[in-house]
Amino acid sequence: MHKCFVPVLASLALLASCGGGGNRLSGGGGGGGGGTGSGNSVPLTVEIGPAGPTFVNIAFVTLTICAPGTQNCQTIDNIQVDTGSSGLRIVSSVLNASLLQALPQQYVGGTTVPVVECAQFADGYSWGPVVAADLEIAGEKASGIPMQVIGDPAFTQIPTDCSSPVPNEEDTVATFGANGIIGVGVFAQDCGAACANGVISGTYYGCPSSGAGCTGIVEAADLQVPNPVTAFSADNNGVVIELPNVAAGGAASATGSLIFGIGTESNNALGTATVLATDGITGEIDVTFSAADYPQSVLDTGSNALYFTDNALSVCGATSNGAGFYCTAANLSATITTASNMQLAASFVVGDAGTMVQQSLAAYPQLGGPFGTAAPQTFDFGLPYFYNRNVFVAIEGTSAGGATGPFFAY
Amino acid sequence: MRIPNTRLGLLALALASLCLAPSAGASLGADAGSVEADRAALNGQLAVSHAGGYEVREITTPAGVHIREYLTAGGTVFALSWQGPVRPDLRQMLAGYYARYAQAAAAPHVGGHRHLAVKQPGLVVESNGRMRAFYGRAWDPSLLPAHFSVADLR
């Protein structure tokens, strides 16, 4: 049983709840650049972010970035927490000039050619160099890990096989929707074996001569942008997302916790949570809804609503506050089938987005929407499903609470 | 509605740039002959199936993206679907449709990083998913065979 004791260094911010194990400070860096605290837990807040109220249901944390091994640090808020991706990415304009300059550029092996990444999203792409950084969050530290700087003004020549699949550039706070993103999903790196074994179009590039003339490169796994949790010295097998209950009609903000580690401290025990092993390649789970099978389903804080196909629900019209979401309220239930063929009921409520969505609110526990027109194979349990529920996200290949990642559990 | 055939030019461009950026070139509105050319150019695998008045041809790219082309009995590609760890190059796959898709792609949308839908009378494109698992569909509503349901696009 871990005891909570007060760290000796008074310059550190103390968390109100010491549910985690004792002093989690790493040895290096002394007080760290105004480090965000101790323990293995940080506040996780759903609120209107720096890009305004059109970006709903985004859960943010504050973290500290330092040039590796130095006190040249910056504490940055409004970083989106994403269980559907892996990797730390920060918008260039958010970084202090002196810090941006001090983050070492990653080069293609044995050369002076900068490595630049195209981060792919379904709605666009983010382009920018891979650098090394120290990450400090709670009392955890990841030293010298690859991180992507999005929208770095030194790299503006974007290759067409990066931009053309979905030509929507998201390299500013306004277009990205946050100051950055911390991907804490089930995968250890953002690309994995595919990018380590061959050149995959639209992923990693070597860009010589002032950011122009980029060509695709092979990128070894340990050089790829990692899930930063894997680089912590402890509490490094996953995370727990804890968000409070939120009133049905929505709220201006909701604060819970992002907890590091599964089964490593007194605040992250798996307990009676049901383990939902995911597919090892895609990170997906199997869901049944309304007698249809959705084998490519997810639990995903990076998704802002419950997206699923239900022809009985009407979709809000273009002039509605809830345009694009469901305008019919309904109490519904799906079934998640675990790897051991257990059936887990997944009940949820969809509200009328036409009346729910307001410019003054950010947290919508009943926001639901259609998953396109054509029948998908995905049931997307986005952020609404995480309210009033503690969800574990275990990293592939790790031992977590007696089970082995990748898995979700709740 | 006939689509200008700019596809041959784009295919030549695709072949020329293959060493840099291999991607699928089979395209919406184009003809069946393009499919075999694309398969050969991509060194991809092709599977063909017939169902209810239309044909489905599948190409798997070296990056592991599965692209399905849906062809009418007359041999016109009326829809595309894709699934894979990265997104395919829609510039070549949409050919003459690409410009209007590109214009619409940057418009405000509700789905955050996970969902994008372009819905126009002559073009629908849906892009979903995340790194390692992207899914999408595109079709020209005016080219759909009679009795075809978009729910059959998988």
Coil/strand/helix, residue A91: strand
- A374–chain B Cβ distance below 8 A for any pair: yes
Q: Check pLDDT > 80 for residue A338.
A: yes
- B144–chain A Cβ distance below 8 A for any pair: no
Strand segments, DSSP code E, in A71-123 are: 73-82, 86-91, 115-121
By percentage, how much of chain B surpasses pLDDT 90? 47
Higher pLDDT pick, B115 / A37: B115
Which helix (H) or strand (E) is A148 found in, with range? strand A140-150
Nearest to A364, CA basis, from A341, A387, A346: A387
Residue pLDDT, tens place only, A179-214: 999 999 999 999 999 999 999 999 999 999 765 689
**DSSP string for residues in B120-149:** ETTEEEEEEEETTEEEEEEE-GGGPPTT--
Exposure string of A68-85, with b = 16+ CB inside 10 Å and e = fewer, is beeebbbbbbbbbbbbbb
Higher pLDDT pick, A197 / B51: A197
- Return the residue in A60, A126, A158, A166 with the most chain B beta carbons within 10 A, the one to mutate for interface testing: A166
Contacts with B88 from chain A: Cβ below 8 Å: 165
Q: Which of residues 326-345 of A touch B (CB under 8 A)?
A: none
Residue pLDDT, tens place only, A64-88: 999 999 999 999 999 999 999 999 9
Please give the pLDDT value at position A194.
95
Cβ within 8 Å of residue B117, ≥6 positions away: A372, A373, B109, B111, B124, B125, B126, B127
Q: Which two tokens stand for residue A112?
A: 């002076």
Q: CB-based burial of residue B15 (10 Å sphere; 0-12 exposed, 13-18 middle, 19+ buried)? A: middle
Closest residue in B to A279 (Cα–Cα): B133
CA distance B131 to chain A (A): 6
- Identify whether the C-beta of residue A279 lies closer than 8 Å to the C-beta of residue A287: no
pTM of the model: 0.88
Q: Check pLDDT > 60 for residue A169.
A: yes
- Identify whether the C-beta of residue B114 lies closer than 8 Å to the C-beta of residue A120: no
Q: Check pLDDT > 50 for residue A215.
A: yes
Please give the pLDDT value at position B44.
59
Contacts with B56 from chain A: Cβ below 8 Å: none
Q: CB-based burial of residue A341 (10 Å sphere; 0-12 exposed, 13-18 middle, 19+ buried)? A: exposed
Coil/strand/helix, residue A82: strand
Q: Which of residues 225-264 of A touch B (CB under 8 A)?
A: none
